[in-house]
Structure 1
C-alpha cells in the first residue's frame, strides 16, 4: 500500500480546525468580497494601497486610499478614521507588502484585514482599475474566476 502524502500528518480535530479557519477569516479578505463591498458602498471599510507612487500610477483599485507602507504611521491618523476596518493590498501573492502594511495599521490600533491576491488578482478577476490615464479593465483570467465574470460565490 502506498503511504499518503496528505495523511502523513493527520487532519486537525474539527474544533481546532474551525478555530483556525475562523481566525484566518478575521485577518484576510478576498478580492471578490472587497469588490462586492466597494460596489455596494458598504460603510466602515476603507481599502488602502500600500505600494509606491510609481505602482499607484500604474494601476489601483477605484476608491482606494494611497498610503505607502513607510508613511502609514505618519499619514493614517490624518486620512483614516479609527472606526473603520482597513483592508490593505499590495502587488499580489508573491509580495508581503500588504502584510507589512496591515501590521503597521494594527500597531496604530486600527482594525485591519489583508486582501488576498492584491492588485494582481483584482485585475485578473476582471475588475476595473484606475490608472493615471483613466479606467482600464482586462478580461477575466479563467484560472482565477469564472469566465462569465459572475462571482464564484465561494
Structure 2
C-alpha cells in the first residue's frame, strides 16, 4: 500500500476536539486563571488601577532582576504579609522564573486561600525579559533585545 492510497491517521484528531460548549467553558476558565506578559506590561504601562504584580521568588532572584513596580513577596511569606502588600480588592498577578517553574502557581494558590482575586502570569520572569520588557535591579532599569522566538522584534504587539 502506497502513502498516497493509505488512509492517513491523524495524531491531532485521534482524540476528537471537544464540543463547542466544553471548549467555551475550558478556554474561558483558562483566561480567568491566567494572563500573559504582554497584557501585564500593557496594564502597567497604562497605569491601570487595581492590579498588583507579585514576584514570588527568593531575594537573590529578585535582586538579579524583577518587573519594575512588582511587589517582592516570596510564597512562604504571603500568608503573613499579603494584607500589608496588597490592597483589598486588588487583582493579584503572580510570577516566578518561567514556564518550567510552578512557583507562580503555588503563590496564586496562597492568594486564593486568602480570598484575593488572582491570576498567574504565563511565561514568568523569563518571558518578561525575553520579550524586552523593563527589568529592574539595584543598578536601575534596563531592557534586553526582544527574542525573536517569543515576540516580534519590531516592537509591535503580536496582536494575538
Please, what TM-score do these two structures have when normalized by structure 2?
0.95
Note the C-alpha offset of 1:136.
1.6
Q: Indicate whether 1:64 and 2:70 are aligned.
A: yes
Q: Which sections of structure 2, spanning at least 5 residues, go unmatched?
A: 1-6
CA RMSD between the two structures: 0.6
Higher-Rg member (1/2): 2
Local SS of the residue matching 1:8? coil
Output aligned runs, 1:1-150, within 5 Å. Answer: 1-150=7-156
User: Residues 35-77 of structure 1: CA distance to partner in whole angstroms, max 9, x if unpaired?
Assistant: 0000000001110000000000000001000000000000001
Note the C-alpha offset of 1:150.
1.5
Note the C-alpha offset of 1:2.
2.1
Tell me the distance in 2 between the aligned counterparts of 1:47 and 1:87. Answer: 5
Local SS of the residue matching 1:70? helix
Note the C-alpha offset of 1:133.
1.4
Number of paired residues?
154
Note the C-alpha offset of 1:82.
2.1
Local SS of the residue matching 2:13? helix
Q: Indicate whether 1:151 and 2:157 are aligned.
A: yes
